[in-house]
Amino acid sequence: MAKAIHSMIRVLEEARSVEFYGRAFGLAVDTRLDFESFTLLYLRNAEADFELELTVNKGRTAPYDLGDGYGHLAFVVEDLEAEHARLTAAGYAPRKLVSFAPDGGEPIARFFFIADPDGYQIEVLQKAGRYR
């Protein structure tokens, strides 16, 4: 059976992105591969084997056009309100907390979204049900 191991996004400024993902989600650079025209950074934490690969194309100065095909990354946390408050205090401007109950019944998810320095959307979910 296949196993998901990483997702890749292109970022404009290495230090800014590494700092954001470290402070916001506890990800640290596990491996850095430096090539002539680009650098690959594999970020991870002790919570999971899955990695976020940041690709930094050297010499690029213009922000990436995220287009209309990108969806979002997702992280699960133990205490959604505490994480929202922590990220707000860090100056990252997370969006409002949402309780998602599509049929008007019990919520199936509680979450908020936050954007990284390059504009990639990240969903932060309360650990519960299928989100574990």
Q: Which residues are catalytic?
A: 123
Burial of 45 (0-12, 13-18, 19+ CB in 10 A): middle
Give me the sign of the Cα torsion angle 87, 91, 93, 96: positive
In angstroms, rounded to a whole number, what is the distance separating the alpha carbons of residues 50 and 56? Answer: 19
- φ/ψ of 68, rounded to 5, equals -115, 15
Structure tokens at 25: 């989600």
